[in-house]
Chains A and B, each alone.
Chain A
Amino acid sequence: MKRLFCYFVIGLLGYWVIGLIGCAPKQTSKSGTTIMVWHWMTDRQNAFFELAKRYEAKTGVRVNFELYAPSDAYTQKVRAACQGNNLPDLFGILGEKRDFASFIKASHIADLTDYMLENNSSWKNVFFAKALEVNIFPEGNSYGIKPGIYGVPIDIMTIQMLYNKDLFKQLGLNPQQPPQTWEEFLNIGKKIKEARLQGMVSGWGELWMADCFANNYAFNLMGREKVLATIKGKIPYTDPDWIRVFSLVKEMQDAGVLYNGIVTMVNKTAEQLFANSKAVFAFNGSWCVNVYKGMNPDLNYAAILPPKVSEKHPMMIWGGAGSSFMVNAKSKNKEEAIKFLSWFTDKEQQAYLAKETNNLPANKESLANIPEILAQFAKAMDSTTHPSTWGISEFPAVIEAFDKGIQSIIIAEKTPQQVAQEVQKIKERELAKKR
């Protein structure tokens, strides 16, 4: 037994030594230039590999797509690499605009404005304006960043409400006539309760989705200007319009139009439930098309804007760039990386990517031949807005209180008024700290 152990140890040491010697990363290609790309999009790895192959065949430049999933781990890796100055040539930044701004201030991100504006803005113009907006820091932005374009979108997405047509029929509703107004939406709740079905699913356990939903209705109720003014601190969260937003949540809960247990639901569970026809409604983003197709290709559903509660202002949904890539300002291969990005977001490549991954392309010209359901998502692009395009961010502590407050309302622990007051208290505390 002991001898076996000794052999094993020797074998291990041998393997180790070989491993250490042969450890130099083999990254340089034949032509000498390799572009390193770090991403988190597991579902697109194969499509990325294929496109990288095509690029290498065309130009001889090798492109290495390295996948680090899930997105939380990816974020940590990028931040660690940022400290060690080991960032790759191309990478994406997940998170708030605020963090994006910090990366730029730390001189890690290249300013792409000039490249975008070359040749009469030929590169800039291929994109949907809203997709690019997420990567733009406008004049007078509150982050103190020199105005410009700092990232490139590779797809677009919108977050909307979905409904199951078959379940509608079961409830005695016309599947071609989804609810257009808030009252209609709430009335369906009664039918859902009677039929012992379940209402809307969404990843509200993950906070940001609840935030998105409430924010959509805030835009509908009080309009963009007032919402932005609230973030700037000029209007309190105890304003009657905001209390109305919180009350909407209570109305949904009382009407029975929410899935029982939505407060702790992660989005993956929500998707799985809707795909298996366990819920009448869902609130999810356009990426869900691919997910549902995989779990239940026969799912009969459609996408709509959330039913309006007011006619005064338009209903706005969150949308814009799905994922974007940024260029490392300190990269030795900066020019090559930018050239690659330009090819990558060209019509043909975007069409390929969209088709392979069932997502919406960021390139306007690549939109032909998308499935009907995706077209419904794309149609709503005009009604989209996105926090990254507002030029200002709300304090994270306030957002957390806001979202947790919504959860508290659903479990009937707090009233809308109480939540509004608490959120405002935290807002004032944060404003005081800033001064």
Chain B
Amino acid sequence: MKSSAYYKTKRVTLNLLIHLFLISVAISCLFPLLWMVGSSLKTQQTIFSDLSLVPKQMHWENYYLAWKEGGFGRYFLNSIFYTVSVVIGIVIVSSLAAFAFSRFEFRGKNAIFYMFMAAMMIPIPGSFIPLYVLLNKLHLRNTQLGYILCMINVGLSTSIFLLKTFFDKTPRELEDAARIDGCSKLGIWWHVALPLAKPVLAVVVVFNALAVWNEYILALIIFDSRHLMPLQVALTTFQGEFITQYPLLMAGLTIAAIPIILVYLAMQKYIIKGVTVGAIVG
């Protein structure tokens, strides 16, 4: 019989190792972030010669300059608008479709689902040009609606795939109960399926928010009018053809990273709460 001291030491050592592991990975993740913030406080002359993480002289005005020179105000709002619109759009469209693929039976279900999956697997790097011509014909070029619809399409397949996988795993008892109570299919979707899928919906939100927030080439090609551009395009102002204004670029990138981190912070709460299985038992 092993003594309880043995078990205690084992547990303590295990915890210590786990913590060491977590901390070392965490440091490697934090380092570039700190470097980015530290660089944003340096000057163009010291950014590569001063190797310290925390510069002696902190040039906080870089943030103000970056905001002004990059015209961040307008572009920031645009990016938020596009991201929110696309995320809401994808959540609704893809969860409807994923729910249907998972729960319903209808002709051509598998074929259509496989088509969506295939789309996820066949990227079209050259598709900008046909997309541009198409948008032109539909009079959607240089419009917010056109960009939003394009971006919804970009994340559609993956989101449907993610949601269907999780719907398949979710037990149906709650839904059966709701159906017996006379709830319509749409009602089941809204009142039962969606709330249960909160964790994976959170993943979908983060995934698509990040994709739209960081996107810039499609925006650059579709939009001609400067005042419709998203934030990423403004950032290219600092990445000149010849001169890259590194401190301002870093300040701009830091500002750009904040909203996404906030979105993640908000969403990860749902991933933690997870399924409240108590609903089925109690």
- Bound state CA distance, A296 and B224, in angstroms? 36
B88 at the interface (CB under 8 A from A): yes
Tell whether A70 pairs with B85 under 8 Å between CB atoms, given A16-B144, A23-B144. Answer: no
Q: Is A412 an interface residue (CB 8 A)?
A: no
- 29 A-B pairs with C-beta separation under 8 A: A12-B84, A19-B81, A20-B143, A23-B228, A25-B142, A40-B241, A41-B240, A42-B237, A42-B239, A42-B241, A43-B240, A43-B241, A69-B240, A70-B236, A73-B236, A77-B220, A83-B129, A83-B132, A83-B133, A84-B132, A84-B136, A84-B141, A268-B244, A294-B45, A294-B245, A295-B45, A295-B48, A296-B45, A297-B45
Quick one: which of A9, A41, A294 contacts B241, CB cutoff 8 A?
A: A41
Q: Which 4 A-B pairs have the closest CB atoms?
A: A42-B240, A80-B132, A69-B236, A84-B136
Q: Using CB atoms and an 8 Å cutoff, list the residues of chain A in contact with chain B.
A: 9, 12, 15-16, 19-20, 23, 25, 40-43, 45, 66-71, 73, 76-77, 79-81, 83-84, 86, 268, 272, 275-276, 287-288, 290-291, 294-297
Chain A nearest CB, measured from B154 CB (Å): 17
> What residues of B have a CB within 8 angstroms of the CB of A69 in the complex?
236-237, 239-241
Known: A12-B81, A20-B143, A80-B132. A43 touches B220 (CB 8 A): no
Contact B85 A12 (CB under 8 A): yes
Cβ A294 vs Cβ B142 within 8 A: no
Given known contacts A80-B221, A295-B45, what 20 new A-B pairs fall within 8 Å (CB)?
Answer: A12-B85, A19-B81, A20-B145, A23-B144, A25-B225, A42-B241, A43-B240, A43-B242, A66-B224, A73-B217, A77-B220, A80-B128, A84-B133, A276-B48, A287-B242, A290-B243, A291-B243, A294-B243, A295-B44, A295-B47
Within 8 A of A (CB), among B67-97: 81, 84-85, 88
User: Closest CB-CB distance, A18 to chain B, in whole Å?
Assistant: 11
The residues of B that contact A276 with a CB separation of less than 8 Å are: 48-49
Per-residue 0/1 for B226-254: is the Cβ within 8 Å of any A Cβ (1 yes, 0 no)? 10100000001111111111000000000
Are the CB atoms of B243 and A67 closer together than 8 Å?
no
Mark each residue of chain B from 18 to 44: 1 if its CB lies under 8 Å from any CB of chain A, else 0.
000000000000000000000000001
- Which A-chain residue is minimally distant from B235 (CB atoms)? A69
Q: Which residues of B lie under 8 Å from residue A43 when comparing CB positions? A: 240-243
For B236, what are the chain A residues with a Cβ–Cβ distance below 8 Å? 42, 69-70, 73
Q: Are B220 and A73 in contact (CB under 8 A)?
A: yes
Instruction: Flag if A23 contacts B242 (CB, 8 Å).
Output: no
Query: Do B239 and A77 have beta carbons less than 8 Å apart?
Result: no
User: Chain A's nearest CB lies how many Å from the CB of B106?
Assistant: 30
Residues of A within 8 A of B45 (CB): 294-297
B89 to chain A, nearest CB (A): 11
The smallest C-beta distance from B226 to any residue of chain A, in angstroms, reads: 6
A66 vs B136: C-alpha distance in the bound complex, in angstroms?
Answer: 20
Q: Do A291 and B81 touch (CB < 8 A)?
A: no
Chain A residues, CB < 8 A from B128 = 76, 80
Min distance, Cβ B232 to any Cβ of chain A, angstroms: 10
